[in-house]
Each structure stands twice: as C-alpha cells, then as structure tokens.
Amino acid sequence: MKYLCLIYNDEREMGTMPRPDGEKMMAEYSEFTESIKKSGHYKGGDALQPTTTATTVRVRQSKVSTTDGPFAETKEQLGGFYMIDAKDLNDAIQVASRIPGAKTGSVEVRPVRVFA
Amino acid sequence: MTDERVRERIDEVYRSDSRRVLATLIRLLGDFDLAEEAMHDAFAAALEAWTRDGVPANPRAWLVSTGRFKAIDRLRRGARFDAAVDEIARSIEAAVPPDVDDEGVGLEDDRLRLIFTCCHPALGADARIALTLREVCGLETEQIAHAFLTSPPTLAQRIVRAKTKIRDAGIPYQVPAREDLSSRLDAVLHVIYLVFNEGYSASAGDTLTRPDLSGEAIRLGRLLVELLPEPEAIGLLALMLLHDARRAARTSPDGELVLLDAQDRTLWNRAQISEGVALVERALSSRRAGPYSLQAAVAALHAEARDAATTDWPQIVGLYDVLLRLDASPVVELNRAAAIAMRDGPAAGLALIDAILARGDLADYHLAFSAKADLCRRLGRTADAIAAYERALALTTQAPERRFIERRLAELRSRA
C-alpha cells in the first residue's frame, strides 16, 4: 500500500535554528532517505518552502481568488513529505517513526486512496 | 439426532466457539463484515447439515470451512457485475486452505490477532473499546451502547468507522512483532482496564457498578493470560479479580456506597481473592512486574487484611513509591497520600494532597476533594471539610457517590 507521510513542524523554530543544528538535521534526513531507498519503501519526497511563500487558490462562482499564505493559523505547519510503499499500517508507522521531524514535530500517515 | 438436540448443540458451540470461528474467518477472508456474515451463514447451514449427517467430529473446523465457502459463494453471487470482487473471491479460494483440523493450532493465534487488531493504537480509544466488546466478546451493539450510556446508532457508527479504518488504512491482522509487543500489549491492557473500570465504578448513572462490564473485562483478561502470559497481563487480571472480589461489600442493600474501611469483609469473595493473590505472586516473581502488577499487590494487601487498622500501610506506601518511580501520575500520588495518612496520621496525608492540588493537578478529580475532605473531617477542620466535599459534589455525576457526599455534608453541617 502507498502512504503519504506529511511532516509537520514549527517552521519558526526551523527558521531560527543555529547553523550546526540545521546541518545535523539535513544529515539525518539524507541518511533516513538513503535508508528507505535501500529498503524499498521510498517512492518520493521533498521539503517545502515555508508557509510565507504559500498561496491559497479557490474558485467560487467561476471566479478565481488567491490569498496569501495557508488557510489556518496552526502551531505546526506542513514542511515536507515522503511518499512510501509499505506492507501495511504497522510497516508505515515503523518508517514514519524514523523520520527526523517526528522527534520535534509530528508526522501524519495517510493511506493513498485507490480508485477501482 | 433430533432437531432439538442439534439445535442445543449448535447453541453450545456458538457460545463456546463463535469468537474463535470469527477470528479465523477474518484472517482467511481479510474483512470483518464478510467474516461475520460468513460465520452466521455457517451456523445457519449447520442446523440442516448436522441434523442430516450428525454433528461433525470437529465442529469448529466444519464451521470455518463452511463459512469460507459461503463467503466465496456470497462474493460470486454479487460479482456478476464486478470484476474486482470476483478477483477477491478467486484469491480467497486460491489461498492456502485452513489447517483447522489439528485441534487448536493456529486458532489461538487468530484470537490474539483479533485482540491486537481491535486494540490497535491507530484507532481512537472509544473505537477500540467498542470494537473489542463487539468482536472479541461478541456483545451486541445495543448492549455495549447501554453499558456506556450512548445511543445504539452512535455506537454502531463508531464500530463501522473503526472497521473502515482497519480496511482503508491497512491495519494488519497480526500479533505485533517482538520489538513492538510490549507497547502494543499496553494498549490492549488499557482497553481491558477501561472496560473494567467502567464496570467497577460507572462514570455516571444511577448505579455504582455495572457487573456485566467488569465480568466481561475479567473474561478478556483471562483469555489474554491464556494466550499470552506476560507479567503485566497476569498483573491486570489479578488487579481486576481482587477489586471485583469486594463488589458485594461496596454497596449497601439499598444501593449506597460503602468505603473500604467500613466494608463488611465477610462479604468479600475469598475464592477470587486467593486466585488474585496467587496471580500477583506469579507476576511479581517474573521480576518484570509493571504498574498493573504493583497496583494488584496493593489490592492484595487490602484483601488479606482483617480491617483497615491492621492493614500493612508501610508496605502499601512502599509499593506506591515504586509505582511512582515507574509511572508517575497525580492519581498515584493521591493514592500514596491516602496511604501516608493511614501510616503517619491525617495531617501528613493532607499536606501531600494540598501540595498536589496547589500544583493545579487533579483540579477536576472528585476523589481528590473527597480524600481531602475526609482528612479535614478527621482533623476536626469542619469548615475545610465542608468546602472540599462541596467541590467534590460539584464534580460527581454518579448518583450513589453523590448521595454519599451529601450524607457526609449533612453530618458536618449539623456539627458546625
């Protein structure tokens, strides 16, 4: 089954992180990505620019409206994701628990819907 | 064999084995609802087949294999328009047929699989309880709704959602791997403990206890110990047996609450206490005893004491000390404070309770204020006792507990 792992972190904390800590985190992420490529779980994944760069788009009565930033004020913001292929939810949780961001923020594991 | 005899035998097998049959069918069919229908089809088919051919040597195996064929039939009948379902039917048919002929082997694993799946931490706490009582214990939705004071439609929806999540999120039908076993077992024990607590001290309503729920929790605890005799599973079973042994003494004939120190100890269930004490010893001797075993050890000391005065309070305090190191929580601190009050006098206990409340912990916990009120009462601090009982009363929703507090308040007010 395919699962999308959505990584939520406090992006202000991420932004003000001292340089050595940032480098350490990057190293942890590349090591993790490497390990799930090797185990065959990895299908894709990326880090995102902060929500200050986000634009929200809506269409109402055929009119496009765009607004600055994400919709809701939350403590943690979506900062990156992995698409993984896992045997079942237990396997997916096992992978998600090793994502470095899970230690400071949280990872939402969502099964990908398959349309018959 | 006569119809009547066969019918009786089928009822008997249903009571003793329907959950085992269901657990195996869920594994073979990969779907809770399909398995449930298949099981009912199999029991329905048994009436005709067993009357004609006699009761098979291994009724359980017969029911599993009949249920499996019925499910394939059912899928096929519905599959004329749906290639995907036909594919499922084909894969079930192609799967290794069940080896249920060797008595028991594999089947017990299925019951463990069922327990761990129903108590999977990815399901909400309410859903775990509802699903466990429905699938593992075989209670009807109406019974569960009644026990938890919810409406049957709400509860039915909770169960449907949980099954949907199991299917769509890919929660596997598995006993967890060794490295996850201890944390996953905790989740199972917690579900059993919550069911027991709701039965032992109903969170709201007219009666103090709901013996049907504590009985169900004890049955679950026994099943778990039989399937997976881990120390904490044994400890939880001991804890439930020891608490439940006092049930008859906890309420007066007119349904009023009787506290531990005032209970008629001749009403305690001695057989259940000996069983509980033996289990506590077994759990503690594993040297891997956890919070449930330690709480059971406390309950065992109470159960073995002649009265409150001769209870081994120093050892109870010692057990709470260990428990706090293992699993610190304000409720454990409160229990320890109550034991200190018995060992060193009410003033010492009260100081500890005041410290817990001053931190803001347990500000909504009626038992914290009841305990404080009782110690103030014993110290002759009537005004403080009244204030604390009033706070406790405002936080209590259960009728017998409310009446108990009201009686205490009336006594104190007449004294003030």
pLDDT in the model for residue A74: 81
Report CB contact under 8 Å: A89, B168. no
Q: Tell me the per-residue pLDDT of A65-105, one tens digit each, with 9 for 90 and over.
A: 998 888 667 889 999 999 999 999 999 999 999 999 999 99
Q: Name residue, tokens 């761990």.
A: B116
What is the C-alpha separation between B226 and B4, in angstroms, rounded? 34
For B344, the 3-state DSSP assignment is helix
pLDDT in the model for residue A94: 94
pLDDT in the model for residue B203: 63
pLDDT in the model for residue B99: 55
pLDDT in the model for residue B103: 47
pLDDT in the model for residue B206: 66
pLDDT in the model for residue B102: 46
Sequence letter at residue B173: Y
Q: Mind giving me the DSSP string for B95-141?
A: SPPP-TTSTTTTHHHHHHHHHHHHT-TTS-HHHHHHHIIIIIS---H
Q: Tell me the per-residue pLDDT of B130-174, one tens digit each, with 9 for 90 and over.
A: 999 999 998 889 888 887 778 999 999 999 999 999 999 999 999
Report CB contact under 8 Å: A92, B170. yes
Least confident of A12-21, B63-72, B194-203, B246-255: B194-203
Assembly ipTM: 0.84
Q: Which residues of A fall within a CB distance of 8 Å from B180?
A: 90
Q: Which residues of A fall within a CB distance of 8 Å from B172?
A: 87-90
Domain presence at residue A44: yes
**B240 or A17, greater pLDDT:** B240
The percent of residues in chain B predicted with pLDDT above 90, rounded, is 69
pLDDT in the model for residue B19: 93
Report CB contact under 8 Å: B172, A93. no
Cα→Cα distances A108→A76, B83, B173, B182, Å: 12, 33, 22, 23
Domain presence at residue A85: yes
Reply yes or no on whether the pLDDT at B337 is more than 70. yes
pLDDT in the model for residue B205: 66
Reply yes or no on whether the pLDDT at B32 is more than 90. yes
Question: CATH no. for residue A13?
Answer: 3.30.70.1060
Domain that holds residue A86: 2-111
Task: Kindly state the average pLDDT of the residues B367-393.
Answer: 95
Task: Kindly state the average pLDDT of the residues B181-196.
Answer: 92
The percent of residues in chain B predicted with pLDDT above 70, rounded, is 93
Q: How many domains does chain A have?
A: 1
Sequence letter at residue A22: G
pLDDT in the model for residue B105: 46
pLDDT in the model for residue A85: 98
Q: Which of B84, B168, B174 sits opposite A90 (nearest CB)?
A: B174
Report CB contact under 8 Å: B169, A87. no
What is the C-alpha separation between B265 and B304, in angstroms, rounded? 10
What is the C-alpha separation between B168 and B156, in angstroms, rounded? 18
Reply yes or no on whether the pLDDT at B185 is more than 80. yes
Domain presence at residue A116: no
Mean pLDDT of chain B: 90
Q: Which residues of A fall within a CB distance of 8 Å from B169?
A: 89, 111
Q: How far is B176 from chain A (nearest CA, A)?
A: 8
Residues belonging to chain B: 416
Q: Tell me the per-residue pLDDT of B75-134, one tens digit each, with 9 for 90 and over.
A: 888 766 667 777 777 777 777 655 554 444 455 689 999 999 999 999 998 999 999 999
What is the C-alpha separation between B36 and B29, in angstroms, rounded? 10
Reply yes or no on whether the pLDDT at B231 is more than 90. yes
Report CB contact under 8 Å: A1, B180. no
Q: Closest by alpha carbon to A103, among A17, A48, A15, A28?
A: A28
**B62: confidence class by pLDDT, cuts 50, 70, 90:** very high
Domain presence at residue A46: yes
Backbone angles phi, psi at B327, to 5 degrees: -155, 70
Q: How far is B25 from chain A (nearest CA, A)?
A: 19
